Amino acid sequence: MSETKAKAIVLVSGGLDSSIALIMMLNMGIRVECVFFSMPFCHATASLGGVSYLEALTKKLNVKLHVIDNEETLIEIIKAPRYGFGSNMNPCIDCRIGYFKKAKALMAETGASFLVTGEVLGQRPMSQRLEAMRVIETEAGLAGLILRPLSAKNLELTIPEKEGWVDREKLYGISGRSRREQMDIAASIGINDYPSPAGGCLLTDPGYSKRLKDLLKHNKDFTSRDAALLKTGRHFRLSEKVKLIVGRNEAENSMLEMLQKEKEILISIKDIPGPNSLLSGEFTAADIKFGASLTARFSDIIDRNKKVKTWYKDENEIEQIVEVVPAKEEEYDKLRV
Ligand code: SF4
């Protein structure tokens, strides 16, 4: 096939399956460019590991890597997914339609004739079922133009196969969730140093999804900053319109301080080590006091029946002192998000 001059865009995630798909295409003489979609709903290490691995891999293979920010698109999708959510807050079908539409635009821009993914039939319950794959392709205007080399033999013939740009005989018929076959293929084509499957998408995580659901219920216009905050600290819904986030470590305390915005209050402890907290919404003086006592609860205070000095400041850095007794578990446990 090396005499063909077909060009493809390979959607890469930084995982093993799409790396195999990429190398298979190169071995078949396909001209290739890659695209990676970044988004706010990744475990930080998964997202950072994915990009740096991909940068190294594409450099080694001398392939161009496009990195497209998908943050705003995905946030809008979460607010009203046409095809609904999976078992958590993962709107996988709409999400993939969004990816493929952007990849289709890149195809036009780069003169590519088809798309390639590392998808495996039956590997993911929502988006990698046969019916879902069909819907996604049709909605993205890409019927017949998405080649899934790892599962191709289980799927209908695609245009690249019909046109003879790729040889169907060299494609696989993998299905299901086991990664055994992919690991054998990786070894046979010289991929040895791929990242282990990381936490991946937070939208499939029950804890993160619970917080996101709460955010969506109380703030339909949420932004990527709000989504990022959901990864940080302990969250408490003090009332319908008031929320408190308490940092769990130094990095989160700094993050809360950095992300404080207009009309929000930063609370911390005076004289003893303790967390920073961020109070937002339409809070009252009573909410500030309760927020301070909750912040004090997670400080290093030894006698939890004794008053603690806390301080809080608004966005104008005006500092106020308030003395509180640390909150009791029965007062705050039911407020956890
Ligand atoms: S798991 Fe997350 S990133 Fe992947 S398709 Fe679903 S929503 Fe999109």
What averages of pLDDT result for each successive group of 10 residues across the chain (337 residues)? 76 91 96 90 60 90 94 91 95 94 97 97 83 95 97 96 95 92 91 69 92 94 89 95 97 94 92 94 95 95 88 82 93 95
Nearest to 279 by CA among 299, 258, 265: 265
Which mutation among 39, 127, 208 tests ligand 1's pocket best, with the greatest number of atoms within 8 A of CB? 127
Q: Which atom of ligand 1 is nearest to the CA of 204?
A: 1
Global confidence as pTM:
0.85
Q: Is 19 in the pocket of ligand 1 (CB under 6 A)?
A: no
Nearest to 233 by CA among 215, 208, 199: 208
Q: Is 127 in the pocket of ligand 1 (CB under 6 A)?
A: yes
Q: Is 25 in the pocket of ligand 1 (CB under 6 A)?
A: no
Residue 216 Cα to ligand 1 midpoint, Å, equals: 18
What would you measure as the largest C-alpha separation in the chain, in angstroms?
Answer: 80
Please give the pLDDT value at position 131.
Answer: 92
Q: Which atom of ligand 1 is nearest to the CA of 91?
A: 7
Please give the pLDDT value at position 2.
Answer: 46
At 129, list the tokens. 């079922």
- Rounded-to-integer distance, Cα 107 and Cα 178, Å: 31
Residue 96 Cα to ligand 1 midpoint, Å, equals: 7
Please give the pLDDT value at position 200.
Answer: 72
Question: What is the crossing angle of helices 44-61 and 16-27, to 10°?
Answer: 10
Hey, what amino acid is at 205? Answer: D
Residue 23 Cα to ligand 1 midpoint, Å, equals: 23
Nearest to 116 by CA among 71, 172, 74: 172
Please give the pLDDT value at position 93.
Answer: 95
CA distances 328 to 268, 293, 298, 324, Å, are: 18, 9, 11, 12
Please give the pLDDT value at position 196.
Answer: 65
Residue 140 Cα to ligand 1 midpoint, Å, equals: 16
Hey, what amino acid is at 42? Answer: C
Q: What is the DSSP string of 295-312?
A: HHHTSS-S-TTS-EEEEE
Q: Is 212 in the pocket of ligand 1 (CB under 6 A)?
A: no
Please give the pLDDT value at position 43.
Answer: 62
Nearest CA to ligand 1 atom 6: 92
- Rounded-to-integer distance, Cα 177 and Cα 164, Å: 30
Q: What is the DSSP string of 189-233?
A: TT---PPPP---BGGG-HHHHHHHHHHHHH-TT--HHHHHHTTSS
- Rounded-to-integer distance, Cα 88 and Cα 84, Å: 10
Q: Is 97 in the pocket of ligand 1 (CB under 6 A)?
A: no
Which mutation among 201, 204, 212 tests ligand 1's pocket best, with the greatest number of atoms within 8 A of CB? 201
Q: Are strands 31-38 and 7-11 parallel, antiparallel or unpaired?
A: parallel
At 12, list the tokens. 């890469």
pLDDT digits (tens, 9 = 90+) for 197-214: 655 788 999 999 999 999
69 phi, psi to nearest 5 deg: -80, 120
Contact 255, 232 (CB under 8 A): yes
166: three-class secondary structure by DSSP: coil
Length of the chain equals 337
Nearest CA to ligand 1 atom 3: 201
Residue 90 Cα to ligand 1 midpoint, Å, equals: 6
Q: 68: part of which helix (H) or strand (E)?
A: strand 64-69
Contact 290, 238 (CB under 8 A): yes
- Rounded-to-integer distance, Cα 35 and Cα 116, Å: 10
Residue 203 Cα to ligand 1 midpoint, Å, equals: 7
Q: Are strands 308-313 and 31-38 parallel, antiparallel or unpaired?
A: unpaired
Q: Is 174 in the pocket of ligand 1 (CB under 6 A)?
A: no
Nearest CA to ligand 1 atom 2: 201
Domains parsed from the chain with CATH numbers: 7-188 (3.40.50.620), 232-335 (no CATH)
Please give the pLDDT value at position 7.
Answer: 97
Q: Is 99 in the pocket of ligand 1 (CB under 6 A)?
A: no
- Rounded-to-integer distance, Cα 168 and Cα 106, Å: 25
Please give the pLDDT value at position 144.
Answer: 96
Please give the pLDDT value at position 181.
Answer: 93
Long-range contacts of 74-82 (CB under 8 A, 24+ apart): 74/39, 74/40, 74/41, 74/98, 75/40, 75/222, 75/223, 75/224, 75/227, 78/203, 78/212, 78/216, 79/216, 79/220
- Rounded-to-integer distance, Cα 129 and Cα 134, Å: 9
Side-by-side strand order, sheet with 319-324 = 234-239, 242-246, 277-281, 265-269, 308-313, 319-324
